[in-house]
A and B are shown apart, each in its own frame.
Chain A
């Protein structure tokens, strides 16, 4: 709270020195370009506005060149990238609206609030477009479990995600978590939100109607989060903890009220355009609305509801206070809108007007404190064609390069309790995953299934990426991330429709990092085209480095699919004993980059990741989905991290049934723990019928579901309860400091 009572003094009379420019994260040539666009030296407020609009976070200046190449089109795409969130048609007049976004830097500095406001921000992106949020997901990466900060960060991030989503009453239905030392100094918190709207009730950001009122609704503005977008575009160093004051504080209760009030107003036709105040707050929301509508905007900051005294124009424009929205109303509809917000106990203020000047003019205390051309602000940031070096290809690790020391059953006992494979129950039980009464498949399966309220339809949602593959081979890794979400959605019986991406990389000014970025996008795009699975929204987070060490490239993918009749969906849990288990897709035993090689063998060189054949992915997936919809499959699980035996264990844990393996593979370690792609395990009642249907596919019979043990063909058996205990215990033990 500001207790100073001295009169407002704008910082505009301060001199713009080279140091001031650098503090704003602008390079000297970028500043020169600003001066050129302005036709004069900017004052401090104008410099602040330009600096956030031209930050990497807002301008995508390093990535835009490559993002433009992504596959974003399909018949079912209503809105691709460029709006608050992407929109797809899911039939019957309904649309699914979704996006994933990063909140990495704030979450490292202040894990609870950083994660909470990440969830709040992505939900606003979705309900800004007229959708009721129906599901939240996330993709989280933490440092090595032995790193002193990891436990604190996991605890804070999980509590923050839960604290926000639980309160607002949107279920958090799933996600993924990895631990790796590359995230020791730079964790990743990527939050995804999916909403549902009527296709004829979608709201966009482009403002129109000269003279229309610009309205501010939601929470009051304070000094929190000033320069958050600039911080998110810088590398960390040891002094990053000092940036704590730039992390925003979330209030999910206010967001719940804002959600209900916005949806209520949206049921009328009073709104012309609407945009949430996310990164760079009032600045980016007003610039984006006016520039998309090709109009001008004039704001009177004296009308902005503030919760601190003596805020300057600079502070108001750059504040990232949460739970605020900016909208343009049809003239004359202010009273009706104001009544709705008043009923929900929220601030409502007309703070400006649309003009025909194509300029942004800011008034404060009777003076014009900033006057800038909108075009350069929104689109004038220099686009960088940064040099990149393709990641060198690694050699494929041959079967004879690995010495297997442990028996299959001993490996399995260790693997189920590895940080990357242990049960995530400790996490998702802190998320309300059932509120709204439509969660058909809860966390722990392949994809979450959320019924579209009041219909037979359900959305299948999955988030995936395997950073160790992306690090080893960005192209294969990018391909694999897209395919894995597609596979997870397919495994429920749903048709995968589109993806959102959250591209987390290191410093793009280093050619090898830019090479990772370019490679991952190439692989993603190839898979996206082959699977007719376009990118409809996304976010780029660069500069994920601490003291010069970058994270593993982590292009997290969030996929959404739809099943028209949720009663036909299947889970990973077989329903009874005696079902035949098959793997669909070829098991070659590729151990390169596998969890087995990394964590059990402890190899220094992990080699090349498993190659992804997108045509095989499509063929196998379409086959599986078809069988599910025909009712010929009892349970399905895709094969991913850890390989085939881990997939079988997941199914056994979910069903509490055992498995009798009848197969004796020639090279058992490679067969059971290899991570070949495009594979699914299926449980079927009628083996003969299945084999006939699968005549044109590569299938292998594994065995059958049984009572409560996992039995191998040589008679060795392991109690399922023992394995499950190992699997369930690791995370709670780690979090309560019972593990080393």
Chain B
């Protein structure tokens, strides 16, 4: 079982997520460079947080055009599990693997804090370690996490049970229907604004994020 972390210029949570993947999978992930034409052979792909290409133009928009993303999109269509965290979620929406867009936070400020979340759909390689309606805590750290999509798309996400995480109470960033994370129709592609890798160890203040990585490990072991 091997996971690949895609490293873009400006990624800055690549090491953090690699630490969690190593803990869960028992081996270090492959760190793949954005300019590579070939995707290394592996069982899952993670797009980490950060500021790929400096967030120039729009968060995730330039990364979505990088050579390796063509390969990631192709692998996702074949069913490889793909998780995008924060900037990774932005890249997934920009490359069309997930619908909608992440706009500037409604308060126009960067927000870094723990938020209370409710788990929605768990039928994905990353979420099955949680139970539906479970209350969990994870940190957010972003400037552009305000999820937006057309009413039709939002209805489709709700009706088809594709929301995996929602903010409890008032959304910290103005996200439509309090959406913090979604999956694709097939369930193998998941994007979320919260950072599970930042609360996956008691010493850092909590372990609610760990189930994402442990869940991936059990999924891949099956």
Contacts and interface: CB of A to CB of B under 8 A. Distances in A.
Given A166-B141, A167-B54, A169-B50, A431 B12 contact: no
Contacts of A432: 110, 112, 141
A168 B12 CA distance: 7
Contacts of B110: 159, 162-163, 166, 430-432
B51 interface: yes
Contacts of B197: 437
A439 B139 CA distance: 13
Given A436-B15, A436-B16, A431 B112 contact: yes
A437 B53 contact: no
A256 interface: yes
Interface string B179-199: 000000000000000010110
B205 A442 contact: yes
Given A167-B51, A432-B141, A437-B198, A451 B10 contact: no
Nearest to A253: B54
Contacts, number: 81
Interface string A393-433: 00000000000000000000000000000000000111111
Interface string B13-32: 10110010000000000000
B10 A167 contact: yes
B55 interface: yes
Interface in A430-461: 430-440, 442, 451
A167 B55 contact: yes
Contacts of A442: 205
A162 B105 CA distance: 15
A345 interface: yes
B10 A429 contact: no
Contacts of B111: 429-430
B77 interface: no
Interface string B93-115: 00000000000000001111100
B204 interface: yes
Contact of A434 (B15, B53, B195): B195
Given A430-B111, A434-B139, A435-B141, A169 B12 contact: yes
Nearest to B198: A434
B74 interface: no
B112 A430 contact: yes
A126 to B, nearest CB: 16
Contacts of A168: 12
Contacts of A434: 112, 139, 141, 195, 198, 204
Contacts of A256: 9-10, 12, 51
Nearest to A736: B107
Q: How large is the interface on B (under 10, 10 to 19, 20 to 34, 35 or more residues)?
A: 20 to 34
B64 to A, nearest CB: 17
Nearest to B201: A437
B112 A429 contact: yes
Nearest to B14: A169
Interface in B152-198: 195, 197-198
A252 interface: yes
A344 interface: yes
A433 B112 contact: yes
Contact of A437 (B19, B51, B112): B19
Nearest to A735: B109
Contacts of A340: none
Contacts of A166: 51, 110, 112, 141, 143
A437 B55 contact: no
Contacts of A438: 204
A385 interface: no
For A168, A344, A437, A451, the residue with the greatest tally of chain B CB atoms inside 10 Å of its CB is A437
Contact of B203 (A257, A344, A436, A440): A440
Contacts of B203: 440, 451, 566-567
B198 A253 contact: no
Interface in A242-260: 251-254, 256-257
Contacts of B112: 166, 428-434
Nearest to A425: B113
Given A434-B112, A437-B16, A442-B205, A253 B9 contact: yes
B204 A440 contact: yes
Residue of A162, A252, A253, A432 with most partner-chain B CB within 10 A: A432
Nearest to A440: B203
A493 to B, nearest CB: 14
A431 B111 CA distance: 7
A298 to B, nearest CB: 34
A436 B48 CA distance: 12
B204 A253 contact: no
Given A253-B54, A437-B19, A442-B205, A345 B9 contact: yes
A253 B53 contact: yes
30 contacts: A159-B109, A159-B110, A166-B143, A167-B12, A167-B51, A167-B54, A169-B12, A169-B51, A251-B54, A252-B51, A254-B54, A257-B9, A344-B9, A345-B9, A430-B110, A430-B111, A431-B110, A431-B112, A433-B112, A434-B195, A435-B16, A435-B49, A435-B141, A435-B198, A436-B15, A437-B198, A440-B203, A442-B205, A451-B203, A566-B203
Interface of A: 159, 162-163, 166-169, 251-254, 256-257, 344-345, 428-440, 442, 451, 566-567
Interface pairs A-B: 7 shortest CB-CB:
A169-B12, A253-B54, A437-B16, A167-B51, A432-B141, A434-B198, A432-B112
